[in-house]
Chains A and B, each alone.
Chain A
Amino acid sequence: QKEVEQNSGPLSVPEGAIASLNCTYSDRGSQSFFWYRQYSGKSPELIMFIYSNGDKEDGRFTAQLNKASQYVSLLIRDSQPSDSATYLCAVYTQGGSEKLVFGKGMKLTVNP
């Protein structure tokens, strides 16, 4: 069973702080990694994807990937109340059954 694990949370940070969200995965052959944001009552929307080891930055968001440790993280700098949502880590697995496997999600609250 290919699994994706996220910290149980919830995570609460003050406005302006850095929020750090972490995710580990079990399938060492995974190639693509995604972070989705889901507001309450809404569907998931993609905010970042990463394939290569290292960091990928997009505005206030930075995704970090370490394939040796099977670890992917999302950093949100200068957190805003509008960042309050559930963040889902997803890993694209291949080999037999190609599909996106999601973690349970981490609820982030940014306090004004």
Chain B
Amino acid sequence: DQQVKQNSPSLSVQEGRISILNCDYTNSMFDYFLWYKKYPAEGPTFLISISSIKDKNEDGRFTVFLNKSAKHLSLHIVPSQPGDSAVYFCASTNTGNQFYFGTGTSLTVIP
């Protein structure tokens, strides 16, 4: 039962352009959402989060948008840089005890 879905396994973007990564969830009880970035052979690194009382959170080049009615989450990276190339996971929770992760989107930023 995949409660968090990332339907795009991969995405390629030119350096300097915007990267948009999408995530859908099914559980309307989720109240906290996060994005993690993962390089090969490393653990996921926290990137940005948003609670369900907000619809947007911005941190530098990274912005997360939350559309609760559509149960949709997106991460915008602008401008994209080659160092952003990694696998991005979205995750959701309603208890804090466990997070439900998507299957990840592999982002490649082309110089």
Same complex: no
Binding site for B on A (CB under 8 A): none
Binding site for A on B (CB under 8 A): none
